[in-house]
Structure formats: structure tokens, C-alpha cells
Amino acid sequence: MITEAQRLYRSAMLMLSAREHSVVELRRKLKQKGFDSEAIESLLADLLDKDWLSNQRYCEAYMRSRVQKGYGLRYIENALKQQGITQSEIAQALTVEPVDWYQLAIEVRHKRFGSHCPKDFKHRQKQQRFLQYRGFDSDQIQEALAHNGDA
């Protein structure tokens, strides 16, 4: 017969084998499955000690994924902070894989709207809102809107 601790361990390992998780995210998922809070905290401490669970690796993987999908730094930072990632962990991830946010904003705009600059105020506003939603700052958006031609 399988014990509660074994079920907890198996659930955590199954989740971690699929992808990286933050500590906050894994804790939340295990609590939703109905496991005891003390047992969860003990397991999380063990997983952190063994380096099987890492906020830093989660942060780097998440950033890589979102950059490939065309999201800006503000969007990524907000999402990571909701998962319990600190600003210093985010800064560390940025040094591991630096991103040219201006170039990314240009590429995202070109992919969605084409390479020509917006012709009128209405189109400019639409593209601006899209890039803001994607997490780019105003300087990056202005650069993307002014860039005409191939990315």
C-alpha cells in the first residue's frame, strides 16, 4: 500500500518531470491535490536542497519561452512575480540570456501587422495597444512603430 508521503513525492516528481516549476507554483498545485501543508513544506525543502526544484531555472525557462512567443519584459516580470520569483532572480536570468527588447518589439509588430509603418492614428493606436499588452515599454513601442522594412 502506498503511503501519503509516497503519493506526495510521486505527484511532485511527475509535475517536475514535465517542466520546471517555481516553489510557489508547486506548493499551490500540491495543496490543490489535498496534501498536508507540513508535508508539502518538508518535501519542498528537500527538493530545494537536492536542486531538483529551482526558482532560477524556472525563471530562465519561463523567460526563454515567453521571449520566443514575442512577449516583452514587463509582461514576463509580472507573470514571474506572481509565481514568487524575486527581482534579483529575474535580473540574474536576464544576464544568462540577454534580450534585445527593441528588436523583439520590431519583430513582433512586423509579424502581426506587417513591416510598413501605421498609416493613420487609428492603426497606430491599435498597434501601440497590442505592444503594450505584450509587455513592451513606451520607448520600445515607439521604436517598433517607427521601424519600416524587414526586422
81 is a domain residue: yes
Q: Are residues 105 and 125 in the same domain?
A: yes
151 is a domain residue: no
Structural domain containing residue 22: 4-49
Q: Are residues 108 and 126 in the same domain?
A: yes
Residue 115 pLDDT: 87
If one counts the domains in the chain, the total is 3
Q: Are residues 19 and 39 in the same domain?
A: yes
Q: Are residues 83 and 107 in the same domain?
A: no
Per-run averaged pLDDT (10 residues), the chain, 151 residues:
93 96 96 96 97 96 96 97 94 92 96 90 96 97 84 42
Q: Are residues 61 and 30 in the same domain?
A: no
What is the reported pTM? 0.87
HEC states along the chain?
CCCHHHHHHHHHHHHHHHCCCCHHHHHHHHHHCCCCHHHHHHHHHHHHHCCCCCHHHHHHHHHHHHHHCCCCHHHHHHHHHHCCCCHHHHHHHHHHCCCCHHHHHHHHHHHHHCCCCCCCHHHHHHHHHHHHHCCCCHHHHHHHHHCCCCC
Residue 151 pLDDT: 42
Residue 149 pLDDT: 63
75 is a domain residue: yes
Of 14, 32, 49, the domain-final residue? 49
71 is a domain residue: yes
Which CATH number do you get for residue 66?
A: 1.10.10
